[in-house]
Amino acid sequence: MRWLIAFLFLASPAFAESVVLGLSQNEIAITTSFDGSEILVFGAVKREAPIPDGPPLEVIVTVAGPDEPVNVRRKAKRFGIWVNTDAVEVDRAPSFYAVATSGNLRDVLSDVEDLRYKVSVPRAIRSVGAPMEITDAASFTEALIRIRKENDLYQLMENHVAVDDQTLFRGRIELPAALTEGAYETRIFLTREGRVISQYETAIEVRKVGLERWLFSLSREQPFLYGLMSLAIAIAAGWGASAAFSLLRN
C-alpha cells in the first residue's frame, strides 16, 4: 500500500506545479458614477521540481458573475407587428463571464477538459430542457450568448494572458458598467497539452455603496415608501420643468 501511495504522489502533476495568485483588487464598489472597472490578475507558478521538458505551460483565467435563470424569447412578425412567439428558460447563466487565455482556447484546453471544468462560454451556461414543441432549443442559448457578447457581458480574450519563463503570468479583465451585485468567482487554470494540471479559485465581491446602495435596499425592504418617494420626485420634476418653461416663455 505504501509504494502505491508514493507512486500516485509522484505521478500526479498537481503536486509539481500550483498557482500563487494576486488580484489588483478583490472588491468593487458600485456608485452612481460607476462606469466599469478593470481587474489585473497576476501570479506565479510554485514548483517542487524543475520546469518539465516538453510543451510550454499555458494559463486560463475566468471571471463569472452570479448565476441566474434567464427567459429567452423569440419574436416573429404577425400582421405587421413584432410579437413574442416561443420562449425557453435557460436554467443557469452567469450574469457576466470572461475568459482570458495565454493562447488560442482550443490549443490550450481540450474539449474533454472544457466539458469537465466548464471553461468556455457555452459550457458555462446550463440549459437542461425546453418545451416539446421547440425543436431548436440550442438556438435560444446561442441568442443569449450573442446578445450578452454585444453588451460586453460575455467575453473571450485569447492571447491576453502573458506568461514569462513559464513561471510568472498576468492578464487584465475588463468589467462593464452593468454589473450584477454579488460574488464573482475567479478561476485560474494551468494547462499543458490541453490538460489541466492545477486550478485555483477565489472571489471578487461587487457591492453597491452610498446612495446607490440605500436606494436599492429601500426598494427591496420598503417598496411602498420607495414608490411614494419615486412618485414625489416625478411630480417635483414635472412641476420644475413646467415652471422653467413658463419662465422661458415670459
Contacts of 13 (CB under 8 A, 6+ apart): 192, 197, 198
Cα radius of gyration (the chain): 24
Is 6 within the bounds of a domain?
A: no
My answer on whether 247 and 202 are in the same domain is no
Is 3 within the bounds of a domain?
A: no
Distance CA 144, CA 71 (A): 9
My answer on whether 59 and 124 are in the same domain is yes
The pLDDT of residue 79: 66
The pLDDT of residue 34: 62
The pLDDT of residue 57: 92
Is 9 within the bounds of a domain?
A: no
My answer on whether 135 and 218 are in the same domain is no
My answer on whether 186 and 156 are in the same domain is yes
My answer on whether 172 and 129 are in the same domain is yes
Is 4 within the bounds of a domain?
A: no
242 grid coordinates: 413646467
The pLDDT of residue 5: 40
| CATH number of the domain enclosing 26 | 2.60.40.3880
The pLDDT of residue 88: 76
Residue 217, domain extent = 209-250
Give me the tens of pLDDT residue by residue for the chain, a chain 250 residues long: 444 344 334 444 444 788 887 676 666 766 655 667 788 888 888 888 788 778 889 999 999 999 988 888 776 666 667 666 677 778 889 999 999 999 999 999 999 999 999 999 999 988 766 666 666 777 888 888 999 999 999 999 999 999 998 889 999 888 888 888 888 999 999 999 999 999 999 988 887 655 555 455 546 566 766 566 667 777 777 776 766 666 666 6
Is 215 within the bounds of a domain?
A: yes
First to last CA, the chain: 97
My answer on whether 177 and 216 are in the same domain is no
My answer on whether 119 and 237 are in the same domain is no
Q: How many residues does the chain have?
A: 250
The pLDDT of residue 100: 95
pTM of the model: 0.72
Helix (H) or strand (E) holding 38: strand 37-47
My answer on whether 50 and 147 are in the same domain is yes
My answer on whether 49 and 171 are in the same domain is yes
Is 7 within the bounds of a domain?
A: no
My answer on whether 147 and 219 are in the same domain is no
The pLDDT of residue 240: 67
Could you give the residue ranges of the DSSP H alpha helices within 169-222? 210-221
Identify the CA nearest to 219 among candidates 208, 231, 227: 227
Q: How many domains does the chain have?
A: 2
The pLDDT of residue 104: 95
My answer on whether 155 and 65 are in the same domain is yes
My answer on whether 141 and 220 are in the same domain is no
The pLDDT of residue 3: 42
Is 11 within the bounds of a domain?
A: no
Is 1 within the bounds of a domain?
A: no
